[in-house]
Amino acid sequence: MNFWIFMLVMNLLTPLVMIIYGRVFEKKPPKIARSKFAFGYRTVMSMRNEETWEYAHRFFGKLWFRFGIAVGLISIIVLFFFIGKDKDTVGFAGMIICYVQLVAMLLPVIPTELALRRRFDKNGNRKDK
């Protein structure tokens, strides 16, 4: 049971990071920085200018927050099916959950980049409607 609790805590770290940083990015995007050590959603399109940077962070943050909640709940529910199982089974289930979480962590990049391209041209200027 101790290993199951450990695995539950470890499997909730990724969704927790997604929830916290998703909310931070959505409410107060970090300042754009050009150095390679900057913090934030850094893609070519998001770094075109301040407007693209802020839009990308707000859009991505909203998705990350929602994905984090969903992934966290799903992780808890799935792991409950493994209460009382041996360490190998719990460990394997935890590993699969972790891989799914990593995919969910990266998945919001696609709709964020598509939204940036719908709203801005390739130079970062807002498209007229």
41 burial (CB, 10 Å; 0-12 / 13-18 / 19+) is buried
Please give the torsion angle defined by the CA atoms of residues 85, 86, 92 and 93, in that order, rounded to the nearest 10 degrees.
10
Of 68, 72, 76, nearest in space to 108 by CA:
68
Lookup result for tokens 């696609």: 110
Task: Give residue 35's pLDDT.
Answer: 57
| Per-residue burial over 49-68, b = 16 or more CB atoms within 10 Å of its CB, e = otherwise | eeebbbbbbbbbbbbbbebb
Q: Which residues pair with 120 in a beta bridge?
A: 126
Helix ranges (H only) for 1-129 are 2-27, 50-80, 87-106, 109-119
Q: Which whole number is the average pLDDT over 93-111?
A: 94
The answer to whether residue 19 scores a pLDDT higher than 90 is yes
The answer to whether residue 101 scores a pLDDT higher than 60 is yes
Does the global pTM surpass 0.75?
A: yes
Reported as a single tens digit per residue, the pLDDT across 55-88 is 999 999 999 999 999 999 999 999 999 998 999 9
Give the phi and the psi of residue 96 in degrees, each rounded to 5: -65, -45
Q: Which residues pair with 126 in a beta bridge?
A: 120
Q: Which whole number is the average pLDDT over 43-66?
A: 91
Distance CA 28, CA 6 (A): 33
